[in-house]
Amino acid sequence: MILAMAGNAVGLGNMLRFPVQAASNGGGAFMIPYVVALLLLGIPMMWVEWALGRFGGARGHGTTPGMFELIWRSRAAKYVGLLGVALPLLVAVYYTYVESWTLAYAAFSAAGTFAGKPAGFFQSFFQDNVGGVSWSIYAFFAVTALLNALVMSRGVAGGIERLAKVAIPLLFVFALILVVRVLTLGAPVANHPERNVWNGMAFLWNPDVTRLSEMRIWLAAAGQIFFTLSLGFGVIACYASYLKKDDDIVLSGLTTASLNETVEVILGGSLAIPLAFAFLGAPAVEAVAKSGPFTLAFVTMPMVFQQLPYGQFFATIWFLLLFFAGITSSVALAQAAVAFLEDEFGLDRTRCCAIVWSFIFAAANVVVFGKGVMGEIDFWAGTLGIVVFALLEVVIFVWVLGPDKAWAEIVRGADINPPRIAYYVLKYVTPCYLFVLVAGWIWQDGRAVATMSQAPPEEVPWRWAGRGLIVLTIAILAFLTARSKRLAKDDVKAGGAQ
Amino acid sequence: MNEVHMTTAGWFFLGATWGAVIMVTAYCVCRLLRSQKRSGSEKRKA
């Protein structure tokens, strides 16, 4: 289960999002709000989701609609909880598509498609095949969705945990091979001795403390912690529902978080940016930091690998590493919807996987063909949605259940005793921090995104289609929640208790 | 960012963060393995 949880947490964000965020948000200074967010948000929320999951699982509910209803005796609880199924499902729609690019690029790299190509080739290749619609990428997307469905149809122990047992160690091995290669590279461009990988690290680690006064950096750091630890998706709670009543969650949650940080800070931080600096120099890295993680992964990295001895091999393991990071997260994202259908409607797992992955595949066509849809879903579901849902989780678990009961639930069966201060952090600091985060995002980006004022005009209709997809997904799940006889039975009990 | 050389402060941030992450991860993994070993032997005894 720890490896499956680590697989859920370790994703594309560790290798791609973190270095770009750190490089564009003050370098080493970014680590200050990052560590603060990890301690005040990341670890407490990790414990809340693990405890919520174990609490619900012991009472027969594997997803948040049922879990919320157990704690919050209100008819609204199950509808609030359905966000814990809708958000990961919506994120899975575009995440799986991005994951399929990594599989496609691994295959292209292994087949030598990129060998000897000039630097300009990679930007146009990415724009034509990924930015536009390419049937070869579409085929890889179909294969990726099928692979996910096959893994999931074998169950949590036989499919998801087995995948994590293979993929996570392989991911570590591939990442270590690449890190050793990068850190022993020195200055690979003969007439630029100053371009060595350690100076490339300066982009991530030289602190620009003047940036600490910017609210944007604190929001970016908290957002990175959320995305990297997969908090606020309801997925951790879903996995934790398979734990036994007295299984440890304090040490397990901490181990999952620390394994994730090792991959992100040490391995993820030592690869892409230093390598790009060593070959392309400072202006290229500054441009990459501005243009975002996709350019880094699918344009800059293949370009750089072509200049590296045995680049074909290193490029293949780089993209395979990303694929393993992606697939262990995408199965987790889809698991909440599968478990919801299994638990609340008694459907068999194979049928649930077929329904969920058919939905993801069909819905992803809006992302594939519609420019700007990915950004739209990413903001509403993958950025704002997860923080709002995390706030609801912590309020319901800590304040509705009661702070003392919630704390007792967290520390039951614990191998290590968390310090008492963690109780007060969970009770006061984490909810307030989350509230500030939600307000900050709405204040900073909310109006521009809501009114689409910065969106190119040709993207506006597609962005509306993206919003339609979000509303449709939530409406379908609300309809299913209302139709669930099991949830309705708990509803009656809730009414009686009141 | 025009600075392309690691500064002393950069090395400090790198060292402190890497050190903390490695130490916490090693501690957690060792504790977890020890506790799993213990619970495994308790199960066998039972």
Task: Give per-residue pLDDT as tens, A353-378.
Answer: 999 999 999 999 998 888 888 889 98
Portion 2-41 of B in contact with A at CB < 8 A: 2-7, 9-14, 17-18, 21-22, 24-25, 28-29, 31-32, 35
Instruction: Give the pLDDT mean for A371-399.
Output: 91
Selected residue with higher pLDDT from A486 and B16: B16
Mean pLDDT, residues A88-101: 94
- pTM of the predicted structure, to 2 decimals: 0.91
3-class secondary structure per residue, chain A = CHHHHHHHHCCHHHHHHHHHHHHHCCHHHHHHHHHHHHHHHHHHHHHHHHHHHHHHHHCCCCCHHHHHHHHCCCCCHHHHHCHHHHHHHHHHHHHHHHHHHHHHHHHHHHHCCCCCCCHHHHHHHHHHHHHCCCHHHHHHHHHHHHHHHHHHHCCHHHHHHHHHHHHHHHHHHHHHHHHHHHHCCCCCCCCCCCCCHHHHCHHHHCCCHHHHHCHHHHHHHHHHHHHHHCCCCCHHHHHHCCCCCCCCCHHHHHHHHHHHHHHHHHHHHHCHHHHHHHHHCHHHHHHHHHHCHHHHHHHHHHHHHCCCCCHHHHHHHHHHHHHHHHHHHHHHHHHHHHHHHHHHHCCCHHHHHHHHHHHHHHHHHHHHHCCCHHHHHHHHHHHHHHHHHHHHHHHHHHHHCCHHHHHHHHHCCCCCCCCCHHHHHHHHHHHHHHHHHHHHHHHHHHHHHHHCCCCCHHHHHHHHHHHHHHHHHHHHHHHHHHHCHHHHHHHHHHHHHC
pLDDT at A338 exceeding the cut of 90 = yes
Q: What is the CA radius of gyration of chain A?
A: 22
Q: What letter would DSSP give residue B5?
A: S
Q: How confident is the model at residue A285 (pLDDT cuts 50, 70, 90)?
A: confident
pLDDT of A468 above 90: yes
Q: What is the pLDDT of residue A71?
A: 94
Q: Rounded to whole angstroms, how far apart are CA atoms A483 and B11?
A: 58
Q: What is the pLDDT of residue A131?
A: 67
pLDDT band at A173 (very low <50, low <70, confident <90, very high): very high
Highest mean pLDDT, choosing among A12-16, A441-445, B17-21: B17-21
- What would the mean pLDDT of A429-440 be, rounded to a whole number? 92
**Percentage of residues in chain A with pLDDT exceeding 90?**
56
**Euclidean distance between CA atoms A112 and A114, whole angstroms:** 5
Q: Which of A201, A286, A415 sits opposite B6 (nearest CB)?
A: A201
Q: Which residue is associated with the tokens 């978080």?
A: A257
Residue with tokens 């005009």: A457
| Residue A244, φ and ψ in degrees, nearest 5 | -85, 165
Q: How many whole angstroms from its chain centre is CA A95?
A: 8
- Measured between CB atoms, which of A2, A206, A266 is closest to B6? A206
Contact (CB<8Å) A251/B22: no
**Confidence band, pLDDT 50/70/90 cuts, at residue A13:** confident
* Angle between helical axes of A135-153 and A311-345 (0-180°, round to 10): 50
pLDDT bin (cut points 50, 70, 90) of residue A496 is very low
Query: In A, which residues are within 8 Å of B17 by CB distance?
Result: 31, 35, 265
Supply angle C-alpha B24, A201, A213, rounded to 5: 80
Average pLDDT for chain A: 89
Confidence category of residue A498, pLDDT binned at 50, 70, 90 = very low
pLDDT at B46: 64
Q: How far is B42 from chain A (nearest CA, A)?
A: 14
Best residue of B8, B12, B23, B32 to probe chain A, by most A CBs closer than 10 Å: B32
Chain B residues with CB-CB distance to A204 below 8 A: 14
Interchain pair A258, B24: CB under 8 A: yes
How many angstroms separate the CA of residue B26 from the nearest CA in chain A?
Answer: 9
User: Which chain B residues are Cβ-neighbours of A2 within 8 angstroms?
Assistant: 32
The answer to whether the Cβ–Cβ distance between A203 and B1 falls below 8 Å is yes
pLDDT surpasses 60 at A492? no
CA distance linking residue A84 with residue A386, whole number of Å: 9
Residues of chain B positioned with their CB less than 8 A from the CB of A266? 18, 21-22
The alpha-carbon gap from A45 to the nearest alpha carbon of chain B, in Å, equals: 18
> B9 and A31: CB-CB below 8 Å?
no
Q: Which of A36, A179, A192, A255 to mutate to test the interface with B (most CBs of B within 10 A)?
A: A255
Interchain CB contacts (distance < 8 Å): A and B: 90
**Which value does ipTM take for this structure?**
0.88
Shortest CA gap B43–chain A (Å):
14
pLDDT digits (tens, 9 = 90+) for A242-279: 998 888 999 999 999 999 999 999 999 899 888 888 88
